[in-house]
Amino acid sequence: MDRIIKYFPELSSTQRKQLSELDPLYREWNSRINVISRKDIENIFLHHVLHSLAIAKIISFAKNTRILDVGTGGGFPGIPLAIFFPNCSFTLVDSIGKKVTVANEVAQSLGLTNVKAIKSRAEDLENEFDFVVTRAVAPLPTLNSWVQKIIKPSGLNQLPNGIIALKGGDLKEELAPFGKKTTKWTINTFFEEEYFQEKSIIFIPR
C-alpha cells in the first residue's frame, strides 16, 4: 500500500482506505474461489493494483466517463480505477461467472456504487462506452474487432475515446495492423519497480 501512496500522494482518505481493503478482501475471496494465483496474491498491490493504476498516469477520466473493463477477471483494472475515479461509471465483463461474482462482491464490500460486473462476452454488449480498458485479455486486433462498435464516437476527455490496454512483452506483431494510429507508454517511466520493465500501456483511438 505504501507504494500506491508513493506514486499517488493525492489520494483521499476514503480512497486510501478502499485500496488498503483490497488485500484482505481478495485473500478471503481467493480462499473460496481461486481467481488470482498464489504468487500474485502475495504481490497484489504490485502485480494488480499498481499495474491497474498505471492507466491513471496517462489519463484523468472526466466526470461521467463510461468505462468498460473487458476480461476483468476478479476486477482488474476496473476496481482500482473505480476507486480512483468515483465520478465515472465502470462496467466489468468476464465470461466466467465465478470471477464476476468476486468482482461484484469486492465492489459491494468497498461501497463502490459506480461499478457493475456482468457475465458476458465483449462482442455481445450493446451499450456504448467512452473507453475500453483491459489487461492482456486478447491480441489487440482481436480485442479491437470485439469492441470498436460499442465505443462512442465523441468524448469528454483529453484523449479521444478508444481502447486502453495494459500489455507486456514485444508488441510489434500485435500493433502492426494499426500503423501509426496507436500510442504506447512504457510503464517503467511511471513506476520504478522491476516488475514493470517490459510492461506497456497501448492506446487505440476509436
What is the residue extent of each domain of the chain? 2-205
d(CA 112, CA 116): 9
User: 3-state class of 132 per DSSP?
Assistant: strand
Question: Left (φ > 0), alpha (ψ -120 to 50) or beta: where does 79 sit?
Answer: alpha
What pLDDT, on the 0 to 100 scale, is given for residue 30?
A: 85
pTM of the model: 0.96
Report residue 91: phi and psi, to 5°.
-110, 125
Average pLDDT over residues 60-82: 97
Give me the half-sphere count of Cα atoms (radius 13 Å) on the Cβ side of residue 145: 6
What pLDDT, on the 0 to 100 scale, is given for residue 110?
A: 98
Domain 2-205 architecture = 3-Layer(aba) Sandwich (3.40)
d(CA 101, CA 70): 15
- Chain centroid to CA 138: how far? 14
What pLDDT, on the 0 to 100 scale, is given for residue 164?
A: 98
- Comparing 20-24, 37-41, 78-82, 151-155, the range with the smallest average pLDDT is 37-41
What pLDDT, on the 0 to 100 scale, is given for residue 137?
A: 84
User: 3-state class of 171 per DSSP?
Assistant: coil
pLDDT tens, position by position, 168-181 = 999 999 999 999 99
